[in-house]
Chains A and B, each alone.
Chain A
Amino acid sequence: MRISIQEAPFDLGQEADQFAAGRVDMGAIVTFTGVVRNSAKGDLAAMEIEHYPGMTEKAIEAIAQQAKDRWSLGDVMVIHRYGRLVPGDKIMMVATASPHRVDAFEAAEFLMDYLKSRAPFWKKEFAADGADWVAAKDEDEDALSRW
Protein backbone atom coordinates (compact mmCIF):
# COMPACT_ATOMS: atom_id res chain seq x y z
CA MET A 1 0.00 0.00 0.00
CA ARG A 2 1.52 3.30 -1.06
CA ILE A 3 0.15 6.65 0.09
CA SER A 4 1.88 9.82 -1.02
CA ILE A 5 0.84 13.35 -0.13
CA GLN A 6 3.05 15.54 -2.23
CA GLU A 7 3.43 19.00 -3.72
CA ALA A 8 5.31 17.76 -6.79
CA PRO A 9 3.59 16.59 -9.97
CA PHE A 10 3.47 12.85 -10.70
CA ASP A 11 3.85 10.87 -13.90
CA LEU A 12 0.64 8.91 -14.43
CA GLY A 13 2.15 6.32 -16.79
CA GLN A 14 5.17 5.71 -14.62
CA GLU A 15 3.11 5.41 -11.44
CA ALA A 16 0.65 3.00 -13.09
CA ASP A 17 3.48 0.87 -14.55
CA GLN A 18 5.29 0.70 -11.22
CA PHE A 19 2.08 -0.18 -9.43
CA ALA A 20 1.35 -3.04 -11.84
CA ALA A 21 4.92 -4.33 -12.07
CA GLY A 22 6.00 -7.67 -10.67
CA ARG A 23 2.60 -9.22 -9.95
CA VAL A 24 1.31 -12.29 -11.72
CA ASP A 25 -1.77 -12.83 -9.54
CA MET A 26 -3.53 -9.52 -10.21
CA GLY A 27 -5.76 -9.77 -13.28
CA ALA A 28 -7.14 -6.25 -12.97
CA ILE A 29 -5.55 -2.86 -12.35
CA VAL A 30 -7.89 0.14 -12.15
CA THR A 31 -6.55 3.70 -12.00
CA PHE A 32 -8.45 6.93 -11.55
CA THR A 33 -6.87 10.34 -12.07
CA GLY A 34 -8.36 13.63 -10.86
CA VAL A 35 -7.56 16.71 -12.96
CA VAL A 36 -8.05 20.43 -12.21
CA ARG A 37 -11.05 21.41 -14.34
CA ASN A 38 -11.44 24.94 -15.65
CA SER A 39 -14.54 26.89 -14.59
CA ALA A 40 -17.58 27.00 -16.88
CA LYS A 41 -16.52 30.52 -17.85
CA GLY A 42 -12.98 29.34 -18.52
CA ASP A 43 -11.47 31.87 -16.10
CA LEU A 44 -9.94 29.65 -13.43
CA ALA A 45 -6.39 30.95 -12.97
CA ALA A 46 -5.31 28.51 -10.27
CA MET A 47 -6.40 26.25 -7.45
CA GLU A 48 -4.69 26.02 -4.09
CA ILE A 49 -5.02 22.83 -2.11
CA GLU A 50 -4.44 22.91 1.63
CA HIS A 51 -4.25 19.81 3.82
CA TYR A 52 -3.71 18.73 7.41
CA PRO A 53 -0.28 17.09 7.57
CA GLY A 54 -0.40 14.02 9.80
CA MET A 55 -4.17 13.60 9.77
CA THR A 56 -4.24 13.38 5.97
CA GLU A 57 -1.96 10.35 5.88
CA LYS A 58 -3.81 8.67 8.77
CA ALA A 59 -7.25 9.29 7.26
CA ILE A 60 -6.23 7.93 3.86
CA GLU A 61 -4.55 4.89 5.42
CA ALA A 62 -7.78 4.13 7.29
CA ILE A 63 -9.86 4.51 4.11
CA ALA A 64 -7.46 2.30 2.12
CA GLN A 65 -7.51 -0.29 4.90
CA GLN A 66 -11.32 -0.35 4.82
CA ALA A 67 -11.15 -0.97 1.07
CA LYS A 68 -8.68 -3.83 1.58
CA ASP A 69 -10.92 -5.38 4.23
CA ARG A 70 -13.95 -5.18 1.99
CA TRP A 71 -12.69 -6.19 -1.45
CA SER A 72 -10.19 -8.72 -2.69
CA LEU A 73 -7.25 -6.39 -3.31
CA GLY A 74 -3.60 -7.19 -3.82
CA ASP A 75 -2.56 -3.58 -3.52
CA VAL A 76 -3.83 0.01 -3.21
CA MET A 77 -2.13 3.28 -4.08
CA VAL A 78 -3.20 6.87 -3.40
CA ILE A 79 -1.29 9.96 -4.54
CA HIS A 80 -2.76 13.37 -3.64
CA ARG A 81 -1.12 16.70 -4.32
CA TYR A 82 -1.32 19.97 -2.40
CA GLY A 83 -0.18 23.49 -3.19
CA ARG A 84 -0.88 25.61 -6.25
CA LEU A 85 -2.23 23.89 -9.38
CA VAL A 86 -3.59 25.18 -12.69
CA PRO A 87 -6.33 23.79 -14.98
CA GLY A 88 -5.17 20.59 -16.62
CA ASP A 89 -2.84 19.64 -13.76
CA LYS A 90 -3.31 16.21 -12.27
CA ILE A 91 -4.43 16.56 -8.63
CA MET A 92 -4.51 12.98 -7.50
CA MET A 93 -4.71 9.35 -8.49
CA VAL A 94 -5.86 6.10 -6.97
CA ALA A 95 -4.94 2.64 -8.19
CA THR A 96 -6.31 -0.72 -7.14
CA ALA A 97 -5.08 -4.18 -8.05
CA SER A 98 -7.29 -7.24 -7.75
CA PRO A 99 -7.49 -10.72 -9.23
CA HIS A 100 -10.81 -9.63 -10.84
CA ARG A 101 -12.07 -6.36 -12.27
CA VAL A 102 -15.27 -5.91 -10.25
CA ASP A 103 -13.33 -5.63 -6.99
CA ALA A 104 -10.78 -3.29 -8.55
CA PHE A 105 -13.48 -0.97 -9.97
CA GLU A 106 -15.65 -0.93 -6.86
CA ALA A 107 -12.74 -0.37 -4.49
CA ALA A 108 -11.47 2.53 -6.64
CA GLU A 109 -14.92 4.16 -6.53
CA PHE A 110 -15.15 3.63 -2.78
CA LEU A 111 -11.71 5.21 -2.30
CA MET A 112 -12.69 8.22 -4.41
CA ASP A 113 -16.00 8.74 -2.60
CA TYR A 114 -14.28 8.67 0.78
CA LEU A 115 -11.29 10.79 -0.28
CA LYS A 116 -13.73 13.50 -1.42
CA SER A 117 -15.29 14.07 1.96
CA ARG A 118 -13.23 12.26 4.61
CA ALA A 119 -9.65 13.19 3.75
CA PRO A 120 -8.67 16.62 5.15
CA PHE A 121 -8.08 18.61 1.97
CA TRP A 122 -9.56 22.00 1.08
CA LYS A 123 -9.53 23.69 -2.30
CA LYS A 124 -9.47 27.40 -3.01
CA GLU A 125 -10.18 28.60 -6.52
CA PHE A 126 -8.67 31.78 -7.97
CA ALA A 127 -10.71 33.21 -10.84
CA ALA A 128 -11.11 36.58 -12.60
CA ASP A 129 -13.67 37.77 -10.02
CA GLY A 130 -11.71 36.75 -6.94
CA ALA A 131 -10.84 33.77 -4.76
CA ASP A 132 -13.27 31.35 -3.12
CA TRP A 133 -13.10 28.18 -1.08
CA VAL A 134 -14.79 25.27 -2.86
CA ALA A 135 -17.88 24.25 -0.86
CA ALA A 136 -18.54 20.60 -0.13
CA LYS A 137 -21.51 19.26 -2.08
CA ASP A 138 -24.42 17.40 -0.48
CA GLU A 139 -24.15 14.76 -3.19
CA ASP A 140 -20.57 14.00 -2.12
CA GLU A 141 -21.82 13.25 1.38
CA ASP A 142 -24.77 11.27 -0.04
CA ALA A 143 -22.35 9.22 -2.16
CA LEU A 144 -20.99 7.63 1.04
CA SER A 145 -24.35 6.11 1.94
CA ARG A 146 -24.22 3.68 -0.99
CA TRP A 147 -21.29 1.89 0.66
Chain B
Amino acid sequence: MDVLYFAWVRERIGLPKERIETTAATVAELVEELKAREERYEAAFADLSALRVAVDQELTDFDAPLAGVREVAFFPPMTGG
Protein backbone atom coordinates (compact mmCIF):
# COMPACT_ATOMS: atom_id res chain seq x y z
CA MET B 1 0.00 0.00 0.00
CA ASP B 2 1.00 3.65 -0.33
CA VAL B 3 1.78 5.44 2.91
CA LEU B 4 1.67 9.24 2.79
CA TYR B 5 2.98 11.81 5.26
CA PHE B 6 2.05 15.48 5.52
CA ALA B 7 3.29 18.60 7.29
CA TRP B 8 5.72 17.96 10.18
CA VAL B 9 5.18 14.20 9.93
CA ARG B 10 6.57 14.39 6.38
CA GLU B 11 9.48 16.54 7.57
CA ARG B 12 10.35 14.22 10.46
CA ILE B 13 10.24 11.08 8.35
CA GLY B 14 11.95 12.83 5.47
CA LEU B 15 9.70 11.79 2.60
CA PRO B 16 6.17 12.48 1.39
CA LYS B 17 5.20 8.99 0.28
CA GLU B 18 6.46 5.42 0.23
CA ARG B 19 5.25 2.00 -0.81
CA ILE B 20 5.07 -0.47 2.05
CA GLU B 21 4.44 -4.20 2.01
CA THR B 22 2.86 -5.08 5.31
CA THR B 23 0.82 -7.77 7.00
CA ALA B 24 -0.39 -5.33 9.68
CA ALA B 25 -4.09 -5.85 10.35
CA THR B 26 -4.77 -2.34 11.64
CA VAL B 27 -3.35 1.18 11.38
CA ALA B 28 -2.00 0.83 14.94
CA GLU B 29 -0.08 -2.32 13.94
CA LEU B 30 1.35 -0.51 10.91
CA VAL B 31 2.50 2.31 13.18
CA GLU B 32 4.27 -0.20 15.45
CA GLU B 33 5.97 -1.73 12.40
CA LEU B 34 7.15 1.67 11.19
CA LYS B 35 8.36 2.74 14.64
CA ALA B 36 10.50 -0.40 14.86
CA ARG B 37 12.22 0.50 11.58
CA GLU B 38 14.21 3.63 12.35
CA GLU B 39 14.62 6.47 14.78
CA ARG B 40 12.91 9.02 12.47
CA TYR B 41 9.69 6.96 12.45
CA GLU B 42 9.89 6.56 16.22
CA ALA B 43 10.18 10.37 16.46
CA ALA B 44 7.26 11.02 14.11
CA PHE B 45 4.93 8.54 15.83
CA ALA B 46 6.00 9.24 19.44
CA ASP B 47 2.69 10.85 20.40
CA LEU B 48 -0.29 9.41 18.54
CA SER B 49 -2.66 11.89 20.18
CA ALA B 50 -0.91 14.58 18.09
CA LEU B 51 -1.62 12.66 14.87
CA ARG B 52 -4.55 11.98 12.63
CA VAL B 53 -4.93 9.18 10.11
CA ALA B 54 -6.82 8.78 6.85
CA VAL B 55 -7.44 5.42 5.20
CA ASP B 56 -8.22 5.59 1.47
CA GLN B 57 -8.67 9.34 1.92
CA GLU B 58 -11.27 9.08 4.70
CA LEU B 59 -10.48 10.31 8.19
CA THR B 60 -10.52 7.37 10.61
CA ASP B 61 -9.05 5.96 13.86
CA PHE B 62 -5.86 4.08 14.63
CA ASP B 63 -7.82 0.86 15.15
CA ALA B 64 -9.12 0.95 11.57
CA PRO B 65 -8.55 -2.33 9.65
CA LEU B 66 -6.14 -2.37 6.69
CA ALA B 67 -7.55 -5.28 4.65
CA GLY B 68 -7.93 -4.19 1.03
CA VAL B 69 -6.66 -0.68 1.75
CA ARG B 70 -4.65 1.11 -0.94
CA GLU B 71 -3.59 4.30 0.82
CA VAL B 72 -2.88 5.33 4.41
CA ALA B 73 -1.95 8.90 5.34
CA PHE B 74 -0.56 10.31 8.60
CA PHE B 75 -0.67 14.00 9.46
CA PRO B 76 -1.13 16.48 12.32
CA PRO B 77 -4.56 17.99 13.09
CA MET B 78 -5.69 19.99 10.08
CA THR B 79 -5.49 23.78 9.90
CA GLY B 80 -7.54 24.86 6.91
CA GLY B 81 -9.59 27.96 6.40
Contact = CB atoms under 8 A, between A and B. Distances in A.
B76 A136 contact: yes
A122 B81 contact: no
B57 A116 contact: no
Interface residues of B, number: 17
Contacts of B77: 117, 135-136, 141
A122 B79 CA distance: 5
Interface residues of A, number: 27
A140 B77 CA distance: 11
Interface of A: 34, 50, 52, 54-55, 58-59, 80, 91-92, 112, 115-124, 133-136, 140-141
- 7 closest Cβ pairs, A-B complex: A136-B77, A121-B80, A122-B7, A55-B57, A116-B81, A119-B80, A115-B80
28 contacts: A50-B6, A50-B10, A52-B4, A52-B6, A52-B73, A52-B75, A55-B54, A55-B73, A58-B57, A59-B57, A59-B59, A80-B80, A92-B81, A112-B81, A116-B79, A116-B80, A117-B77, A117-B78, A119-B80, A119-B81, A121-B78, A122-B75, A122-B78, A123-B79, A124-B7, A133-B7, A135-B77, A136-B78
